Chain A
């Protein structure tokens, strides 16, 4: 029997949902609001919420002091680059695990996932020294490779789950219909997996964009992405909340906008396989 929901209950549920949503969104909202305040208003006690003198001064200062577009370009290069490189490695890996699994496939998947449990700082020294010896410190190439490796288990897992949903009989039907392995991949597998590949791509761009440990530790200025850009506004010169907020807003805006437009794909990607 379906549970009946009265109008009143519906209203309460809606209000609750909005409350939780706002609670989660509040820090971001506060950051955005603060970015439009003066430094004085930013730290005023009691805090001002909406009624202050809105100013774009912080953005002007931030833009003047650091080259935003340079950071932005690095962020795009690193997140897109590492994701594409990751897909290149992960697609064949996931194909073979999904369609020709061996006895150890499950173990390999679990082992890959277990590497995500390792605290990143545990391998900071070897990776840092390795990068230094190869002259790759503060280079986008190093970050693309490192971040690709960090996210690879997730990419493979997501694709594996997607590919597993493609019924083997359909591939067998294609084989009976005379398709070669190449034709099978081009005409049947790939079109059916496109939604999965797309949401994996989106999610990993976001993960790579937000990655702050390696991007900050392995860069100085040349290859520094937006995470390093935000960090540069925190401690060294004392806390300038308004400017820090402006920098943060500028850093998260692109990915927030991308996320907004690809909501449907993302939700599908994250819940895929959960509900049949």
Chain B
């Protein structure tokens, strides 16, 4: 079981309130991603749940039990750190066995669990090596191995993939998702990468300055963001925002339209502009269109074969039912 409830949880460092009172419930077995720009308090929130930081107010409950004052080890949670935080003087086997040894488990059971974790994570051939002799991906797997052997109530991941190169990151992303499907244990995952959030999460928690902006499934956040911040943060490339007269036509202060909801044509359309840089990804092309008279350059996602060049005139038409409207406070209307 791993149901985690935060009730008015607050964190202050001195006079600075980094997390104002915050409520959140994480259901058992859920994969929850905390996402937000750096400094938004997502890692602090994770460390509060872990018990590595003391809360300044409020209550943390794990499976109904008050865990606010419990030390990290007594909360039944496991954590994977950004730097992996492996014990450099121990072999992989000893690293993975460490939490079991601390739990005073008998040696036969430790061996069984370590071997099991190693085979799940493809580490069997590396058990007698030290962390220094492993690659980044292998180290990451050892860190995960160390956290799964204890069969915790929930896993906490603190930006676990940010030290890996792009190709490995995609691979590890799949492995972690796969692991979640198999273990069906609650996972809380912190990242600043909205792609990781979208691809892995059952539920995304978008944070800004310690405040939860919105909680919802990836598609909910994509389709109906509550405000401009969430609208701009979720989705890649970023949503285009248009203010002024054009927005007024839709009875809004600002309208937002995603790059994939703009149709581009060389001959006709609602807005006229000039093609700037175009980024060819093969499957898609991202056009940056200038001089539309709508403020900043608009980003448009077109098919890979679209063949307008730098300086060409282009006409853009938004899909009417995909336009997001925001009021002057930035809230969705």
Chain B residue contacts of A237, Cβ below 8 A = none
Binary B-proximity of A178-203 (CB < 8 A = 1, otherwise 0): 11100100011001100000000000
> Are B71 and A173 neighbours in the complex by a CB distance under 8 Å?
no
Binary A-proximity of B47-88 (CB < 8 A = 1, otherwise 0): 000101000000000000000000111000111011101111
How would you classify the secondary structure of chain B's contact residues: helix, strand, loop or mixed?
loop
Chain A residue contacts of B52, Cβ below 8 A = 172, 175-176
How many Å lie between the Cα of A177 and that of B105 in the bound state? 13
> Are B72 and A169 neighbours in the complex by a CB distance under 8 Å?
no
B73 contacts which of A169, A170, A175, A188 (Cβ < 8 Å)?
Answer: A175
Q: Does B89 contact A (CB under 8 A)?
A: yes
Q: Does B183 contact A (CB under 8 A)?
A: no
How many Å lie between the Cα of A147 and that of B92 in the bound state? 43
Chain A residue contacts of B150, Cβ below 8 A = 177-178
Interface-lining segment among B96-104, B212-220, B275-283, B318-326: B96-104
Interface size class of B (residues with CB under 8 A): 20 to 34
How many Å lie between the Cα of A176 and that of B158 in the bound state? 13
How many Å lie between the Cα of A76 and that of B83 in the bound state? 44
> Are B50 and A178 neighbours in the complex by a CB distance under 8 Å?
no
Chain B residue contacts of A173, Cβ below 8 A = 79, 81, 85-87, 146
> Are A192 and B89 neighbours in the complex by a CB distance under 8 Å?
yes
B103 contacts which of A169, A175, A178 (Cβ < 8 Å)?
Answer: A178
> Are A177 and B73 neighbours in the complex by a CB distance under 8 Å?
yes
Q: Does A40 contact B (CB under 8 A)?
A: no
Q: Does A122 contact B (CB under 8 A)?
A: no
How many Å lie between the Cα of A180 and that of B101 in the bound state? 12
Q: Does A238 contact B (CB under 8 A)?
A: no
Chain B residue contacts of A192, Cβ below 8 A = 87-89
20 of the cross-chain contacts (CB-CB < 8 Å) are A167-B83, A167-B85, A170-B85, A172-B81, A173-B79, A173-B86, A173-B87, A173-B146, A175-B52, A175-B71, A175-B72, A175-B73, A176-B50, A176-B52, A176-B72, A176-B99, A177-B99, A178-B103, A187-B87, A192-B89
A interface list, Cβ under 8 A from B: 167, 169-170, 172-180, 183, 187-188, 191-192
